[in-house]
Amino acid sequence: MLPEWMADAPPHLASDWHVFARPTGKRCLVVSCNGMTISRVRNGSILHRFPSALPNGSKRDISGPASSYSILDCIFHEPDETYYIIDMICWRGYSLYDCTAEFRFFWVNSKLMETTAGDPPSTYHRYRFSAVPIYECTLEGLQAAYSGSTPYVKDGLLFYNKHAHYQAGITPLALVWKDEACSQYVIDTDSNGQVPSEQHVVLELQEDGKLTTSDDPPVVFGSLDNEFIQKSNLRPGNLLRFAVRDERVKLVDGKMEISELQFVGKPNRARAFADSHSKALFQYAARHAPLRIEDLVASIQSNNMELESTDVEMQG
């Protein structure tokens, strides 16, 4: 369940959304089964293979059918070697795909407490697991997620629609937002870790030369001719980095259109996917007219006024 980037506050932010501070680290799926625990990052490669105190996560903790498995959506925070759980997909073989986010968050906390997975590491429990503090997206909840202390380094805020079922891929029912106060990485850096003077975007080369985002369906931002593709020894499926000049960008009905892309090169090999349209739009906005925390506060206040007005009408 991959979030879109929040360029505008969604409607009903106060009543329909949860918010929490996203830990800095590697997003991964953690599977415990048959006496072993394995974590995999987005491109499918194994991050860690280890014993854990999750159900059936180590040879000592096999309970029930050895084949019953649990799947957690986590972020591995390297400074304290902790897996921070941001969602739960399956627990002891019980699927939570069709459960609401509100229910899944409740289960994360209640089921984790039934195990010793939150204890310090030991022989049969290599890494600690911890649930992130999740808040209702009220003014108090937003403030707690934004300014409150956490045991991990923050990398922006994640917003989940309370009623959303878990789904693979990018979804508008999960949103990520950040500014300089809650993240070290607001504007993307280049391959050398420097903030470029012009916005960069990573796109995927298709068979017909089109350059697309990771959305489903993908958004086409441009194309390369066959001569350039052959001369540069490029192949379909390659991820390519491009620079975007401000004057070549046009926003039409909330969509980003780019009239010219400047080829920069290939991104880091660890990169598994192209940018999404919402990420490109967020990066553009971050450089010119960013969505501020004050805008989110105003959206919540507006939502509260609407709810109060509705209550008055119903009482009348």
The C-alpha angle 266, 170, 210, rounded to 5 degrees, equals 40
Is 158 a residue whose pLDDT tops 80? yes
HEC sequence for 189-217: CCCCCCCCCCEEEEEEECCCCEEECCCCC
Strand partners, 256: 251
Q: Please state the domain extents for the chain.
A: 2-177, 199-288
pLDDT in tens, 50-108: 999 999 999 887 766 656 899 999 999 999 999 999 999 999 999 999 999 999 999 99
pLDDT in tens, 262-313: 999 998 887 889 999 999 999 999 999 999 999 999 999 998 887 776 655 5
Task: Give the model's pLDDT for residue 312.
Answer: 53
What is the pTM (predicted TM-score) of this model?
A: 0.92
Task: Give the model's pLDDT for residue 269.
Answer: 80
CATH number of 2-177: 3.30.470.30
